Chain A
């Protein structure tokens, strides 16, 4: 079937979506405290769905029913939470020094020298270290670990208390094709899911889950999948692009970086297998056929480690055929991730087209 035979026009995706992403990326929603993103999600989806509710863990569960007589119940999930920091102990109230822990997978080597912003208040802290002038060359070989670092608020402040969450203080920025922000993982997915809900899919019941606590063990998705009880599920996430040059010791014998996971600007990443999930082969085939029919670039995420909400969704109830599609981004879980607008747009178009083509037959064949 060629593009014309499918007779599908791809919806516009540009400046309004980038504005939404900016708002989402700058919002602060560390795992367990997803309220700021939840609010933006609810504001944006309410006019477009049949029902929307907040469950016991804080997931936003929304249903948009199709008009056809027989419909496939498809769950689409994107996690609202992001990695961050929490103040765990007050070290010097007058000076404003606090010990902290990380929430989610943050390499401690990206912490020192960064500015952080406390959630729900316009207050900043910094994570500093001993000036280079007062350190020896040997000392600088040592890791600046979390135990040796403090969040420094520089003064006593009654609003800042143990238990406060903070994120890196990075403002969203778009230049050319580049999208840069602190929480592209997974606001890229959240924004696509918000966008999908604007479009009718007569033959589908779209069961949207904006999940909580993905970064601390795929916990929100577990109860969301139980409640929504879908036939199949698709997860929209953000996956690392490790497409950096390899350190070449011998310039005459360069080796290729064969562990890139995904590559930026090579299209949406379709999952085959990660540590948590083996993607349903019918989903894989359906997405690949869709991409090729619609001439949308795509890539396979290299099978291996990592995990998405699909990890807990596919195990729910009597089993849910699941797959993940991610927008690749470099440096997720650091102060600033970089993604490609084109990849992001293509991710939306791929999933939009795949849902348009989806019917019960796709999953009626044996896997």
Chain B
């Protein structure tokens, strides 16, 4: 699929704000993008979106799980005073990025607002010229206190209000690219697999609440009981202020996770395939945990051999995230080829050296 088609899928997916715990509003979009290409759709008890593409091999067929989380970070109304809103975060947010941020409050209707830092004289002394913590910031809807009380309640969610834009060189910027970029890669993979005949059953899952408890991936893995799992998530791209040794170049290729979360045989398979397809990649060392759904998913039931694929994203968890459509395209291609080429006896090859 070319990058302009990928662009339009990504734009569609980022246009729906679905914070952790409020992902169901994305189900309809996934119905449009996924359903026509798949055999079975269901929603898990906690709201994850499950889709099955039946394989060609005879029963019992091995099962592959390919998953990306569909939730995004955001904020929630935690208090109301004189028409001004206090906020708390959903997912990790650096409060230093918030003053001046346009947001939408999901009250009785959608209400535009802006997050503001009070003038210094209204703040405790220690914050007058220093970063102001979230507990002292307000969201202002520009409405009277009376109207705010009618329209907005504690617990209403607050999403970044910043339209998707295209930059040069197949780069785009939008809030929520973490993790709609990975969902886009899976969407492209699903659509391209329509032309292929994979042997395995492929379960595609858009998981909920990765940014909070990872309950989605954990429970979907239990329900599906896959023989293998692939987690796609964004990883850190280089950028001003970010340490080069902990980040990856933007638009120059994807990452293959390497560490305790990743099964070494699976890693080798992906590495070999990427080499063969001439897809640029870098190994991403994950010395302890991966920081993705893979951490929860790997230890479900009897344990699942798991792979982590990363798409470099600049300014993660901000309203100015930037990603490369080319890297999404590369991820999709690698996933498609892996699934299409998966041999029916692949599992037999996943053995520890010591047992060979």
Contact = CB atoms under 8 A, between A and B. Distances in A.
A47 interface: no
A129 B318 contact: yes
B250 interface: yes
Contacts of A133: 92, 236, 291, 316-317
Interface string A4-32: 00000000000000000000000000000
Interface string A95-124: 101000000000101101111000000001
B82 A110 contact: no
A182 B236 CA distance: 31
Given A154-B173, A330-B140, A335-B101, A173 B112 contact: yes
A128 B95 contact: no
Interface string A236-255: 00001010111101000000
A245 B84 contact: yes
Interface stretch (B58-66, B122-130, B185-193, B270-278): B122-130
B127 to A, nearest CB: 9
A70 interface: no
Given A134-B243, A134-B246, A247-B136, A129 B97 contact: yes
Interface in A70-103: 91, 95, 97
B215 interface: no
Contact of A142 (B92, B131, B247): B131
Contacts of A340: 142
Contacts, number: 190
B224 to A, nearest CB: 28
A330 B116 CA distance: 9
B326 to A, nearest CB: 12
Interface in B92-150: 92-102, 111-112, 114, 116-119, 121-124, 129-132, 136, 138, 140-144, 147
Interface string A320-348: 00000000001100111010100000000
B309 interface: no
Contacts of A95: 238
A109 B165 contact: no
Contacts of B122: 242, 244-247, 257, 259
Interface residues of A, number: 61
Contacts of B314: 128, 152, 154
A148 B138 CA distance: 25
Interface string B187-229: 0000000000000000000000000000000000000000000
Interface in A260-301: 264-265
A115 B142 contact: no
B241 interface: yes
B171 A331 contact: no
B21 interface: no
A128 B100 CA distance: 14
Interface string B166-194: 01110101000000000000000000000
Given A180-B114, A245-B84, A129 B100 contact: no
A132 interface: yes
Given A141-B130, A155-B167, A128 B99 contact: no
20 contacts: A109-B96, A109-B117, A110-B100, A114-B101, A128-B240, A128-B314, A129-B94, A129-B315, A131-B316, A132-B94, A132-B316, A140-B94, A148-B241, A150-B240, A153-B168, A178-B142, A244-B116, A245-B84, A331-B114, A335-B102
The 3 A-B residue pairs with the shortest CB-CB distance, nearest first, are: A113-B97, A178-B142, A128-B315
Given A109-B117, A154-B314, 20 more contacts: A107-B117, A113-B94, A113-B320, A124-B167, A126-B322, A128-B241, A129-B94, A131-B94, A131-B318, A134-B246, A143-B96, A150-B241, A152-B240, A154-B171, A175-B111, A175-B112, A176-B147, A180-B112, A180-B142, A244-B118
